[in-house]
Chain A
Amino acid sequence: MSEQDQQPTGDAAGTPGRAPSRRALLGWGGAGLALGAAVAGGTAAAVRSGDTAVTAADSGAAVPFHGAHQAGIATAVQDRLHFAAFDVTTEDRAELVALLKEWTRAAERMTAGHAVGDGAYGGLAEAPPDDTGEALGLRPSRLTLTVGFGPSLFAKGRFGLEDRRPGALVDLPKFPGDNLDRARSGGDLCVQACADDPQVAVHAIRNLARIGMGRTAIRWSQLGFGKTSSTTPDAQTPRNMMGFKDGTRNISGTDTAALDRHVWADGKDAGWMAGGSYLVARRIRMHIETWDRTGLQEQEDVFGRDKGEGAPVGKAKERDEPFLKAMLPTAHVRLAHPDTNDGATILRRGYSFTDGTDGLGRLDAGLFFLAYQRDTRTAFVPLQRRLAAHDALNEYIQHVGSAHFAVPPGVRDTDDWWGRALFS
């Protein structure tokens, strides 16, 4: 039974056969009825009753797709993630360029709350619809789609990009303790889909994957929930799967000076990257069960914050300036702090994940770490070397997936496309 058959009353936007925009659906019908599935307020995007302050996450609004930088980096972090890494399967540069253009147009539509192509119904009966349809009736949900290019895309003999590889897009070194699964690492391209509604994020990846078939194939993908870092400092810092607030001192999405200093690439390294950023993605598995058997004192010592308030050792409030020397030399906060790392600062945008269990009765859970920086060589790499060598947390975590991407600058208008400067 398809959704379009369940609509109680009213004609979507008065244009039968055209896929209505998700936003247009909010107002039609006179009685404020959205499509069938949303009528009962049963969708994730519905505003929770009893909330007095409607947060950005509840607004269901659209985030502008065009701009100097790609959305999804400084954007206030959404609740949900579907991250996908792709292998490029075509050897033809023109086909790859055509795909990036098609993806850009589809992303423009989806982030605005529209279906891709000719929509999910109303087309030729013999043909599968262009859009897969599961986001019909859902709001834009602050969907952002962010594209990146992996080191392997620049390999010699592939697309003639070997001279355009930025110095900052290094092959990440092997860090002590890494136990990387090849099948969950790397990728020629990535798409980060973030939205406040998981179905909207999954729909976006699914439709881009479909458009890409024959030119790209998904190499691995990761669902995430419960953002673990926030780029809105006045909001509550979310907790990770260990129950701790981690990411308190993140870069604010509105602090343009800090973004310019730490996040946006200047293009000296590679001109086409001006206004872009470098993304490191790490799938960090947590040994949840052993962590849960750890005494409270040790848990707090490991992080360097208290569990209830999230205050640094010896301080009262979460946002009080940490006094690093009061912490153990192996405390996570102390080791990760910019003062310990010559000022190196990254913008964290990670999510928790739980992918069921692992066959040994243990939750396959942890942190899907996402960090943006202007140069990975002076940010993530030295930072992770320090953490991998000394962090007390290492007893409870293991890095099992890893990828690195050059995230190009934003798409400026409807004639522009993802990666245009790289391929021009």
Chain B
Amino acid sequence: MRAVRFSVVTAAATVAALTAVTGCAEKSDGKGEGAVQVVAKDDSCDVSKTKLPAGHVELAVQNKGSKVTEVYVLFPDDRIVAERENIGPGTKATITAEIKAGSYEIACKPGMKGHGIRQKIEVSGGKAAKRSPEMDKAVAAYRTYVQAQADETLPKVKVFTDAVAAGDLEAAKKAYADSRIGWERTEPVAESFGDIDPKVDVRADGLEDGQKWTGWHRLEKALWQDKKLGAEEKALAPTLHKDLLDWQKRVGTADITPTSMANGAKELLDEVATGKVTGEEERYSHTDLVDFKANVEGAEQSYQLLKPIASKNDAALTATLDKRFAALNTLLDKYREDKSSYAFTSYEKVGKADRKELSDAVNALAEPLSRLAAAVTK
């Protein structure tokens, strides 16, 4: 896991394209058809209309105040949809964003600080995000997959946590990596619930001040490094199980869109590139290749469901992705005897040159995968 990340919800909903600058030298006065005129002063923030159709929204901002200002479009919970900073006195700027139906606020922040002067706006109907039956089908299938992963994972977690609670080191070590596969396959969705990941999948280096270390990696350290299970560890086992039950209960309700699926696939490869290839994720157990494989499987699942849509828009991209997924899977198979098992080589036995080969294969896949979202939404 990473310490800081955008949730899938945010990433999916706040895609905002900021245009290049406009200013004195240009005649742009927000003459775009439905541009919203925003006049910002030191003590006011006037918006020309507060009811907008969904879709492409353009704000034409004029700073008529004496202070540098910034203008935001915000969700009701203050998450940022789009923003523009550093709008100097007497200058103009344009903010554009794709906005879905819902309630929002426009905020001007004279002096670029504080809560700002706010104005509620309502966005309705119009051209909501493009969703075809094909896309709905992909999202529904992926939701089913995510739920199934959680459902299949919980019994495996139980085997692991029962072994820890019983103080059975060997049985716990054996059950550890298996108990993580379903989680690793669907990690971006799990992480979209910001509160679960820090409890179950945080590493020692990801702890915040005063945060108690719980979850898989805390037990991993006890099993492989300290080689003992004390009262504290035994008590952490049922907690992990309970937190993952919470995940199982909620994961089906996650906000999933075709874009978030595509971005999630890319994020899974990011996880591999920054955590698994380096051996940081499973630094005590060295079961990184199991996580690695699970991440790739999860990314591939997203991709396969989106492929019918993406291949219509960009056949060359899907042809490349097919090839690169196959190449990475072939390479990973070198590290297990039996393709039906998740018994991979311990990562400490994987030398520098082999790690580089894995890293190159990850880059080879992740680079085109980063273009999947665009191919889906074109």
Contact = CB atoms under 8 A, between A and B. Distances in A.
Interface of A: 1-2, 4-12, 14, 16-17, 28-30, 87, 89, 121-122, 124-128, 183, 210, 213-215, 217
B26 A10 contact: yes
Nearest to B376: A126
Given A214-B324, A217-B363, A5 B18 contact: yes
Contacts of B16: 125
Contact of B370 (A2, A12, A14, A128): A128
B373 A214 contact: no
Given A10-B21, A128-B370, 19 more contacts: A4-B18, A5-B86, A7-B21, A11-B20, A11-B26, A12-B20, A16-B19, A29-B25, A124-B377, A124-B378, A125-B15, A126-B259, A126-B374, A127-B374, A213-B363, A213-B366, A213-B367, A214-B324, A214-B367
Contacts of A5: 18, 21, 84-86
B88 interface: yes
A28 B21 CA distance: 13
A4 B20 contact: yes
Contacts of A126: 15, 259, 262-263, 373-374, 376-377
A16 B93 CA distance: 13
Interface residues of B, number: 41
B287 to A, nearest CB: 26
B374 A214 contact: no
Given A5-B86, A17-B19, A128-B371, A214 B377 contact: no
B124 interface: no
Contact of B364 (A6, A127, A213): A213
A86 B45 CA distance: 55
B189 interface: no
A124 B262 CA distance: 15
B4 interface: no
B25 A30 contact: yes
B52 to A, nearest CB: 18
Interface string B68-111: 00000000000000001110100100000010000000000000
B148 interface: no
Nearest to A127: B374
Interface string B15-54: 1111111111110100000000000000000000000000
B20 A9 contact: no
Given A214-B364, A217-B360, A10 B23 contact: yes
Interface in B347-378: 352, 356, 360-361, 363-368, 370-371, 373-374, 376-378
B23 A9 contact: yes
Interface secondary structure of A, over-half rule: loop
A4 B21 contact: yes
A120 B21 CA distance: 14
A220 B366 CA distance: 20
A81 B15 CA distance: 37
A6 B88 CA distance: 10
A124 B15 CA distance: 10
Contacts of A4: 18, 20-21
B119 interface: no
A89 B364 contact: yes
28 contacts: A1-B86, A5-B84, A6-B86, A7-B21, A9-B21, A9-B24, A10-B26, A11-B21, A11-B22, A14-B26, A17-B20, A30-B25, A122-B20, A124-B17, A124-B377, A126-B262, A126-B373, A126-B377, A127-B370, A127-B373, A128-B370, A128-B371, A210-B367, A213-B366, A214-B363, A214-B368, A217-B363, A217-B364
Contacts of A127: 370-371, 373-374
A30 B373 CA distance: 39
Contact of A8 (B18, B88, B366): B88
Contacts of B91: 9
A121 B21 CA distance: 11
Contacts of B320: 214
A276 B371 CA distance: 37
Contact of A9 (B18, B25, B324, B366): B25
Contacts of A217: 356, 360, 363-364
A27 to B, nearest CB: 12
B367 A11 contact: no
A11 B23 contact: yes
Nearest to B83: A5
Contacts of B262: 126
Q: Of A2, A29, A217, which is in contact with the most chain B CB atoms at under 10 Å from its CB?
A: A217
Interface string B323-365: 0100000000000000000000000000010001000110111
A124 B374 contact: yes
Nearest to A11: B26
